[in-house]
Amino acid sequence: MSERNSRWKGKKQTFRLETLQVHAAERLKMPPFHPTTVPIYAATAFESERAATLDQIFAGKIPGYVYSRHANPTIEALEETLAVLDHGTTAIAFASGMAALHAAFLSLKLSPGTRLLSSRDLYGATYILFNSLLAPFGVQIEFLDLRDTGLLRAALTKKPRPKGLFLEVMTNPLLHVIDVQSAIELCKRARIPVIVDNTFATPMLTKPLELGAAMVVHSSTKYLGGHGDVTGGVIVVEDRQQGAALRALRKITGAVPSPFDSWLTLRGVKTLSLRTSRIFQNASVVASFLENHPRIERVRYPGLPSHPHHSIARRLFGKRGYGGLVTFQIRNADKRQVLCFMDRLTVINSATTLGDIYSELLYPAISSHRDLSPAHRRSLQIDDNLVRLSVGIEHKDDLTEDLSQALG
Ligand code: PLP
């Protein structure tokens, strides 16, 4: 029993109710029993047995906990797991995927006039982050169609030297599979760090740090959490110093996840491989079903031989699968007809998220890409008859039957 606890022992009766009701439970430690799962340390601050210990923790001389914005055991337990998943040395958890992306970009030490290269095909909010936060600050963001490595090669030779390249492995919502290996190779030669948003592919399909990326970012709201009950993000890095710098950045900006959300994510991560293997199998069945349906104009799924990047996906993902997202266009459907199709779905949720155990359908034109002008959407081929399905773990036949009845 700790010194503090033994000091407490025997004196309980002498404290007043007001004191007991806030202190009693925490002092009742139960050695030698240890929980088999990480407890939720819902504590704002941590005491040390001696004030000198606190001094040393603050000075960074010994590890420990003082304040949950700096470090918390439940959050750290999640971070250790996520670092392992992506084969990094350090993971830094954030309150959301957007908070993680924001920190990743801030860490590049951008300043007015600096250049940042980015894939043109992006999650809508990331695009807005670039245009509404970084561009007004004077950062020049150059959006490239990364399907053409020649464009990247040319952008890397222009001056001033770009501070980094950002890309998503599988783009949202069109599911282009970027040749991450070649893009990283080109950037490595030019000594430009690459930040990869691996949310869609998950560490189950690809580990960009192994290919030489500087940072991997996930919205852990999606496949990592996996149960539609948490919002979170993470950056994983190989370089310990960079990890420490990102941790210091999070301490200042304060975008830490709550211990409860971290615990939920940690619980979700434990079944990531089980969930994704079922999801990837289901997605492959659903994609083939849709490709043969007369009401479907086009299906985009990297596992289909008809997908333009099928061979890149095969090289990048190996035999591990092709992801859980299937994007498709309903033949000749206008906005009203797409909304009717969504209303007719019974098993599949119409929900603005992905990567859950539940199947979820998203209509980009009214949700994730709503803030882009119709002309911009058209230029990205995000047409009004295009929807994105995140396939869940339900029985595959229930999913195809649901789609069949909703398509009519
Ligand atoms: N990156 C991708 C690819 C996403 O799809 C999303 C959200 O959908 C994000 C980042 C942002 O994550 P969050 O909603 O957790 O902030």
Q: 170-182, pLDDT tens digit by residue? A: 998 999 999 999 9
Strands 165-168 and 115-119: parallel
Long-range pairs of 341-349 with CB within 8 A, sequence gap ≥ 24? 341/387, 341/406, 341/407, 342/387, 342/406, 344/405, 344/406, 344/408, 345/402, 345/403, 345/406, 346/402, 346/405, 346/406, 347/394, 347/398, 347/399, 347/401, 347/402, 348/389, 348/399, 348/402, 348/403, 348/406
Yes or no: say if 173 and 385 are a contact pair by the CB < 8 Å rule.
no
Cβ of 98 closer than 6 Å to ligand 1, yes or no, is yes
CA distance 240 to 347: 45
Q: For the chain, which ranges sit under pLDDT 50?
A: 1-8, 12
Cβ count near 150 (within 10 Å): 8
What are the CA-CA distances from residue 313 to residues 49, 151, 291 (Å)?
54, 21, 18
Please tell me the distance between residue 218's alpha carbon and the centre of ligand 1 in angstroms: 8
The pLDDT value given to residue 344: 97
Amino acid identity for residue 304 in this structure: L
CA distance 183 to 164: 12
Residue having the nearest C-alpha atom to atom 8 of ligand 1: 353
The pLDDT value given to residue 26: 56
**Closest ligand 1 atom, CA of 172?**
3
All structural domains of the chain with their residue ranges: 3-58, 73-269, 272-407
Residue having the nearest C-alpha atom to atom 4 of ligand 1: 123
Cβ of 121 closer than 6 Å to ligand 1, yes or no, is no
Please tell me the distance between residue 69's alpha carbon and the centre of ligand 1 in angstroms: 22
Cβ of 231 closer than 6 Å to ligand 1, yes or no, is yes
**Closest ligand 1 atom, CA of 232?**
15
CATH-assigned architecture of domain 73-269: 3-Layer(aba) Sandwich (3.40)
Cβ of 162 closer than 6 Å to ligand 1, yes or no, is no
Q: What is 272-407's CATH number, 3.40.50.10880, 3.90.1150.10, 3.30.70.930, 3.40.50.1820? A: 3.90.1150.10
Q: Which residues contact 308 (CB under 8 A, 6 or more apart)?
A: 176
The pLDDT value given to residue 297: 97
Please tell me the distance between residue 123's alpha carbon and the centre of ligand 1 in angstroms: 7
Please tell me the distance between residue 40's alpha carbon and the centre of ligand 1 in angstroms: 25
Predicted TM-score (pTM) of the model is 0.92
Q: Which two tokens stand for residue 139?
A: 């950062």
User: Rg of the chain's alpha carbons, rounded to an integer?
Assistant: 24
Please tell me the distance between residue 229's alpha carbon and the centre of ligand 1 in angstroms: 14
The pLDDT value given to residue 30: 60
What are the CA-CA distances from residue 225 to residues 274, 355, 375 (Å)?
13, 8, 35
